[in-house]
Each structure stands twice: as structure tokens, then as C-alpha cells.
């Protein structure tokens, strides 16, 4: 039987620290949270692999390297309000709850939202809550956000999400038009996003964020 605690420690040392992730809050949270509890039971043996783990539909738990590096780009502050889009079983939401004052995990799949809500209760993420709704519409009721984090690849960002970012707010996403994606650090200024490419990453594409005439870049 796989020793999950040892696998978790090895994941942090081999996949997180070695990829220039130095934010101790991220390292501590990923060292503490049992990733195997944030995927379907049949996939728990894959929780600490260096690949994304399929959860349901087009939803996946991001691989540890991509997730940690993308989270570090956000430079979250204790006072930040965070929108965690496509949160799946809630792993990313639980990590962010240890870093920011208010975290909203957004999930449109009712069964996933239920699992994520359970996870928030079980792992003491008192600063986080799960909201059910369309991923591309965000959660306007709790806007504006200092950080919006998208768990999956996108082709474009809907205007609804951009409008929910505070001026100067950061959006983290992996843009993918071909086989290899690019992690982008984006900042909202006057209703428009500026982009900076940070690193290569390949994660599954979220259908809600495929290119459409209703989306803006």
C-alpha cells in the first residue's frame, strides 16, 4: 500500500521545491493537505504523481509543479479576496484559504461542489466557501477580487471575470492553443488585462474557456 505521507513529502521535495517555488505558505499547505482526499477514490494512487489527475468531465487536479508555480505568481497577501475558478474537489481552495482572508471556490458541477464543501469542513478551511455556478460568469456577489485563479487551460478570458477583478488585481491562468500551454500572470487596469508569460505548462482545457466571439482577450 502506498504511504501517502511519504509520497506527499517526496512530491514537495521533487516537484515543488526543485521548480523554484520558494513561498513557504504554499510549501507548508502542500506538505500538510492530503491531495488524495481531493480526487475520486479510484484515483487516489495518482494524487502525488507529476501529472494532472482527472476528476470529472473536463475538470482535473492540476499537477503539483504547475499548480505551485502558478499560485506563487499570485503573490497572495493575507488581506486578499480570491476567486478560485473550477475548484473541483477543493484542493486549490484549501491551499489558498491558508494564505488569504477570503476565498471563494467556484464550481458548476453540483457533485463536485458538494465534495468541495465537504472538504472545506473536513480540513478546517474556515476562510473559504464553495459557490455553485457557471465558471465563465465568476461570482459577482463577492466581487471585486484581488486574485482570480483558474484551474485549467484557457483560450480566452470572459469579460465577466475581468470585470470582477479589482483594479490592479491579478489573474492567473494557463493559455493553451496547441499542445503546450503558457502560464500567464495578468493584471487588470481600467477593464483590460495586461499579460506576462511566466513558464510552460500543459494542463487540460476547460470547455467554458474555449475561444468564442463572446470572449475578449
158-211, pLDDT tens digit by residue?
A: 999 999 999 999 999 999 988 889 999 999 998 889 999 999 999 999 999 998
Model confidence at 215: pLDDT above 60: no
pLDDT at 177: 87
What is the residue whose three cell numbers read 464553495? 130
Q: What is the CA radius of gyration of the chain?
A: 16
Q: Which of the four pLDDT bands, split at 50, 70 and 90, describes residue 1?
A: low
Backbone angles phi, psi at 39, to 5 degrees: -135, 165
| CATH at residue 181 | 3.40.50.150
Number of structural domains, the chain? 1
Q: What is the mean pLDDT of residues 58-66?
A: 97
Model confidence at 127: pLDDT above 90: no
- 62 lies in a domain? yes
Measured distance CA(87)–CA(73) in Å, rounded: 18
Model confidence at 60: pLDDT above 90: yes
Measured distance CA(71)–CA(64) in Å, rounded: 10
- 67 lies in a domain? yes
pLDDT at 2: 81
Measured distance CA(156)–CA(151) in Å, rounded: 14
Measured distance CA(194)–CA(46) in Å, rounded: 36
Average pLDDT of the chain to the nearest whole number: 94
- 214 lies in a domain? no
Asked whether 104 and 34 are in contact (CB, 8 A), the reply is no
- 216 lies in a domain? no
* Burial tier of 97 (Cβ tally within 10 Å: 0-12, 13-18, 19+): buried
- Structural domain including 139 reads 4-209
Amino acid at each position: 500500500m502506498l504511504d501517502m505521507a511519504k509520497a506527499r513529502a517526496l512530491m514537495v521535495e521533487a516537484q515543488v521545491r526543485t521548480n523554484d517555488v520558494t513561498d513557504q505558505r504554499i510549501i507548508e499547505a502542500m506538505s500538510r493537505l492530503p491531495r488524495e482526499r481531493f480526487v475520486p477514490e479510484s484515483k487516489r494512487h495518482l494524487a502525488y504523481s507529476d501529472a494532472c489527475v482527472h476528476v470529472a468531465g473536463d475538470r482535473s487536479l492540476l499537477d503539483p509543479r504547475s499548480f505551485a508555480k502558478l499560485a506563487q505568481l499570485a503573490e497572495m497577501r493575507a488581506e486578499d479576496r480570491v476567486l478560485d475558478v473550477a475548484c473541483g474537489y477543493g484542493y486549490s481552495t484549501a491551499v489558498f484559504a491558508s494564505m488569504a482572508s477570503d476565498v471563494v471556490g467556484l464550481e458548476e458541477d453540483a457533485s463536485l461542489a458538494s465534495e468541495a464543501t465537504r472538504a472545506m469542513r473536513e480540513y478546517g478551511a474556515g476562510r473559504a466557501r464553495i459557490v455553485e455556478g457557471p465558471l465563465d460568469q465568476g461570482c459577482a456577489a463577492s466581487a471585486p477580487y484581488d486574485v482570480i485563479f483558474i484551474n485549467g487551460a484557457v483560450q480566452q478570458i470572459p469579460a465577466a471575470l475581468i470585470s470582477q477583478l479589482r483594479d490592479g488585481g491579478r489573474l492567473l491562468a494557463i493559455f493553451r492553443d496547441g499542445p503546450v500551454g503558457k502560464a500567464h500572470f495578468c493584471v487588470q487596469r481600467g477593464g483590460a488585462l495586461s499579460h506576462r508569460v511566466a513558464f510552460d505548462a500543459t494542463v487540460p482545457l476547460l470547455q467554458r474557456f474555449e475561444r468564442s466571439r463572446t470572449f475578449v482577450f
